[in-house]
A and B are shown apart, each in its own frame.
Chain A
């Protein structure tokens, strides 16, 4: 209880909250300028998300990959790196899950599904590990290598699907027998595509927290992230930590891929372009202040906004793209904390005066 109080006594939660409000406000102003009714738009948005069990379930589906990629970016960030390649790692994870899910279909389900999920995490991790290795051994900036690896991942996945997994006559893989769907919830959510990936994502967030703040290896990783010079001086192996951190980050992203193919689509498409999970993950990580709990909450918000945006166009005739302005502004206000603190200044002054008197 005391701990909880401490969390809410600091202003670390105030800034994001105010940033979110300001973001909605900016969106409203833009709508007004465009001649739309912001109140109708926002209520349509929330109606869409909470209006029916099906939509609510689908909103959860929308949030799940964002949780994973948000965690992936946040984890790398805590270890001093910027993983822009979560997108490629998602694709590689997807492909690994599809490959295992289809090619090992003879195995019993209780073996096949975990194997496919593990393969996805492993493959995503190894893919990100390439960037980690190049940074540790050759000093190449991970921003560059992860971006480059995104393209390689896109074409490599498409190649694998086309050549080994293709459903004849279609631009997608065969159906995957392995499934992460929570079919027992079909009644509750009206057949919305909810799946176990969401639960795995929550577990990943818990792992993130425990590993980074409670274990020896996490301590090392944070030290390397915050000050590699001091870490090296204290006898830590900086290079090994860089590779390990990238591996874990990539594994999170890879699991997002497993959730999508095993839980949502049950096949893998040949992608014309990058699906963009990883880039949204950067936004989610920033929004969540790179803390696992924050990332989960940010993914929920982000997923709700993206999913609800469709409701805006149906319910209030507002173009759904406007929600991008809201999201963009929220991130802007979080990044530019100075502005938020400036907005809050009168409140703080008042509080201080009250304390004095």
Chain B
């Protein structure tokens, strides 16, 4: 291998889809042993580019060189053969299988006709030691943490001989501690001679770990810069195309009466495992309560309980003094409770409905949209037109299917619908998940605007930065319980991280 040739060189890659140019003459070089971050908004063309590198798409123009030799990557198998590995954002693991079984899946070492698990496990153990991954080869996937599962994904690529690793939004699901560990692992991988492309829109991580950053916007490379010579503000500006304020501007809250009050709420999963475990907290008018916690500690169940999608076994949930536990979702919605759901595709939108139809998903049965059983399409359309203008939802028309909107605009549409209901309580679950800096700013401003109008806002997020910046008060959830209640100005990431991991309690149920 010549020392000069870059590991991967993309030359003038252009990829067109009907109506848009997803990648417009993109060039990018990945040097050996570097961590190269790829930064861009949703829909900027990052995924398209990486799908081209991984052989899922063919470029219309341009060429790819690996180690200085031109190659044609026409399938993921070819990509793997060339030493390219991808760590996907959503893990592709078989849950009941062991770590080893998952890693060797599709490339099992054979002994005659039998799979030689012993030598496979041995190989996995060696890999684990070499890169400091500390994965137990015989553990089952459903027994290990999300962070560990991600390491299994990393090992899958290493086992297949990858020298070039692509990480797609790897920190989205991790706790702060796990993120620190992942960073260490990435450093170790690079030290062992691997090269990494990191797709992310978290500027903090880019600043911490990457060597160079390539920023793309609307399919074009805006710039490639040395990380040491830049700062988050400059990066954000390049990514969005305008200045972005990171500090969320907000006034001191004017806290009013209690709007949402949960007392000792218990709920069990189908298998009888308690998922909400004597949970209590309160949100008052004019404040934003942020619920911090690691994914899977009862956040989804908590939202379901408040919105009527889950039955609770005991306890009380009151909205403005009225008991709402175990009422139907519609009854609760009619009490002026709005909800921006965690999974906008699953719960927030009917993707094959038009934007216009989606805007009345909860109100279609009320006047003026419904008259004598028939829908007033012209009224519904006008309503949608208004909301689109007011909330700057970018869509070709109100007749466009929600599916063809970008993630940010889908979220804007949901927020428009929910805020338009003029709620007394707004529940926002992961409202900025997967959004880019510009859209995040928009969403957070809307939440604060609602709070300034005297509404109670319950924010559930896995992003500590968001919790810290937006909330007026923070409650930490761990294993279905509130284990701590703090004010953002009195705490820091480390303390919250420890509480989220269950190893520290502060305030909490006792104080509430």
Contact = CB atoms under 8 A, between A and B. Distances in A.
Contacts of A222: 350, 353
Given A233-B329, A235-B330, A216 B350 contact: no
Contacts of A223: 350, 353, 361
A220 B330 CA distance: 13
Contacts of B349: 227, 230
Nearest to A214: B374
A230 B348 CA distance: 6
A234 B329 contact: yes
Interface string A191-234: 00000000000000000000000111101101100110111111
Contacts of B364: 216, 219-220
A231 B350 contact: yes
A184 to B, nearest CB: 35
A116 B150 CA distance: 65
B352 A226 contact: yes
Contact of A235 (B328, B352, B370): B328
A74 to B, nearest CB: 16
Interface string B352-396: 110001000110110000100111010000000000000000000
B217 to A, nearest CB: 26
Contacts, number: 61
Contact of B361 (A215, A217, A230): A230
Interface in A122-138: none
A215 B347 contact: no
A234 B328 CA distance: 10
Given A215-B375, A216-B364, A219-B357, A230 B330 contact: no
Contacts of B346: 227, 229-230
Nearest to B341: A233
Interface in B390-407: none
Contacts of B362: 234-235
A227 B350 contact: yes
A236 B350 CA distance: 13
Using C-beta atoms within 8 Å of the partner chain, give the interface range for chain A.
10 to 19
A235 B333 contact: yes
Interface in A226-265: 226-227, 229-236
A216 B330 contact: no
Contacts of B375: 214-216, 219
A234 B361 contact: yes
A233 B353 contact: no
Contacts of B329: 232-235
A233 B374 contact: no
Contacts of B339: 233
Interface in B143-164: none
A226 B353 contact: yes
B296 to A, nearest CB: 19
A233 B309 CA distance: 7
A214 B339 CA distance: 27
Nearest to A236: B330
Interface string A32-45: 00000000000000
Nearest to B334: A235
B307 interface: yes
B56 interface: no
A216 B347 contact: no
A241 to B, nearest CB: 13
Contacts of B333: 234-235
A227 B307 contact: no
A226 B330 contact: no
B183 interface: no
Given A232-B329, A233-B339, A235-B329, A215 B350 contact: no
Interface in B255-277: none
B309 A232 contact: yes
Nearest to B369: A216
A220 B374 CA distance: 12
B351 A227 contact: yes
A226 B350 contact: yes
Contact of B347 (A217, A219, A226, A230): A230
Contacts of A215: 373-375
A195 to B, nearest CB: 31
A254 B227 CA distance: 71
A229 B300 CA distance: 14
Contacts of A235: 328-331, 333, 362
Contact of B370 (A216, A227, A229): A216
Contacts of A231: 350
Interface in B280-339: 307, 309, 328-331, 333, 339
7 contacts: A214-B374, A214-B375, A216-B373, A216-B374, A217-B373, A219-B357, A229-B346
Interface of B: 307, 309, 328-331, 333, 339, 341, 346-353, 357, 361-362, 364-365, 370, 373-375, 377
Smallest CB-CB A-B distances: 10 pairs: A235-B330, A233-B347, A234-B361, A235-B329, A227-B350, A234-B362, A216-B370, A226-B352, A226-B350, A229-B346
